[in-house]
Amino acid sequence: MSGNKEEEDPRINGIKTKIRVVPDFPKKGIMFQDITTVLLDPKAFKDTIDLFVERYRDKNISVVAGIEARGFIFGPPIALAIGAKFVPLRKPKKLPGETIFEEYELEYGNDRLEMHIGAVEAGDRALVVDDLIATGGTLCAAINLLERVGEEVVECACVIELPELKGRQRLKGKPLCMLVEYR
Amino acid sequence: MQTIISPLLVSHRLSLAPPVPRLLNNYHHRARPSIRLSSHRSTNSLRLFSSAIVAAAASRDSEMATEDVQDPRIAKIASSIRVIPDFPKPGIMFQDITTLLLDTEAFKDTIALFVERYKDKDISVVAGVEARGFIFGPPIALAIGAKFVPMRKPKKLPGKVISEEYSLEYGTDKIEMHVGAVEPGERAIIIDDLIATGGTLAAAIRLLERVGVKIVECACVIELPELKGKDKLGETPLFVLVSSA
Cα-trace Rg, chain B: 17
Q: What is the pTM of this model?
A: 0.84
- Among B82, B148, B161, B179, the strongest candidate for a mutation testing the A interface, having the largest count of A CBs within 10 A, is B148
Q: Tell me whether residues B159 and A25 touch, CB distance under 8 A.
A: yes
pLDDT at residue B224 is higher than 60 = yes
Query: Chain A residues with CB inside 8 Å of B103's CB?
Result: 85
ipTM: 0.95
How confident is the model at residue A106, as a pLDDT? Answer: 83
B140-149 tens-digit pLDDT: 999 999 999 9
Query: Would residue A125 show up in a list of annotated catalytic residues for this protein?
Result: no
Q: Tell me whether residues A72 and B134 touch, CB distance under 8 A.
A: yes
CA distance B61 to chain A (A): 36
| Per-position b or e across B74-108, b if 16+ CB within 10 A of its CB | bbebbbbbbbbeebeeeebbbbbbbbbbbbbebbb
Which ranges constitute the DSSP H helices of A29-159? 36-39, 42-56, 71-82, 137-148
Q: Tell me whether residues B138 and A45 touch, CB distance under 8 A.
A: yes
Lowest mean pLDDT among A39-43, B87-91, B103-107, B108-112: B87-91
* Distance in angstroms (rounded) separating the CA atoms of residues B82 and B59: 37
Of chain B, the percentage scoring pLDDT greater than 90 comes to 67
Measured CB to CB, residues of chain A less than 8 Å from chain B are 20, 22, 25-26, 32, 34, 36, 39-42, 45-46, 49, 68-70, 72-74, 76-77, 79-80, 83-88, 90, 93-97, 116, 119
